[in-house]
Amino acid sequence: MPEPMYSLQDLQYLMQRLRDPQDGCPWDKEQTFASIVPHTLEESYELADAIARNDMAHIKEELGDVLFQVIFYSQLGTEQQAFSLEDVIHQLTAKLIRRHPHVFPSGELHSRAGQPQQQTEQVKASWEAIKQQERQQKQQHSLLADVPLALPALNRAAKLQKRAAKVGFDWNDISKVIDKLHEELAELEQAQQGGDKAEIESELGDILFCCVNLARHLQVNPESALRSTNRKFERRFAYIEQQLHSRQQAIADSSLELLESLWLEAKQQLG
């Protein structure tokens, strides 16, 4: 006979027990909103990694870990009488209904519009207009006001650029983006010759920002592109290590010429 399935309510109860002042877990009882954030980020990256590998078993597991972060924060909110999990779910549901008027025409959860008539780009435009209204209601008058500072830099750069592009602050020709990249590379070279570390960092940042802009114009997610390149580098480097191991040769003792030769072999064999 299969074991009964645990429910969301069971998970909430478990969280309450972990935080119980008398017989809860010492580590869990010490945690705060701020102390959990690194774990939340780590779990999110682990989920992204499982998705990138299309590992369904681990996707299921990592989704559970991410859900536990929500349960943990909600328990802290309940203890501080700030909000509950029910409040979180209600606010999320209300927001999604509000942002999808083409699906919920009367603003009610069970209202239906039938087959949506809007195209994807129209839906995106409507979504952004509604979000802008929400920002104004929160007195966030800047278009960039709610772009999270904690986002990975590549993702945040893409989001900033996307926001600015929606009001026309954008190149209308990808060739201009490429020209700008060449310009930034030249400025980095000048800074490098000058030896000013702060200036070098600034110019390198401009290049990375420009690369994100180029990715956006090419409709490529820069974070995904770099993750893919990281995996490619790992595969090729592992090939070099394997080849040197078969020769009983340490990588640190190998010449750059040999390493480059093996790198080219890896490219040819692994792509």
The C-alpha atoms of residue 94 and residue 91 are separated, in whole angstroms, by 5
pLDDT (tens digit, 0 to 9) for every residue of the chain, 271 residues total? 678 899 999 999 999 999 999 999 999 999 999 999 989 989 998 998 899 889 999 999 999 999 999 999 999 999 999 999 999 999 999 999 988 888 888 889 988 877 656 677 676 667 667 766 766 666 666 778 778 887 889 989 999 999 899 889 999 999 999 999 999 999 999 999 999 999 999 999 999 999 999 999 999 999 889 988 999 999 999 999 999 999 999 999 999 999 999 999 999 999 7
Cβ atoms of residues 241 and 263 within 8 Å: no
Cβ atoms of residues 75 and 19 within 8 Å: yes
CB atoms inside a 10 Å sphere around CB 118: 14
3-state secondary structure of 21: coil
The C-alpha atoms of residue 194 and residue 196 are separated, in whole angstroms, by 6
Cβ atoms of residues 265 and 238 within 8 Å: no
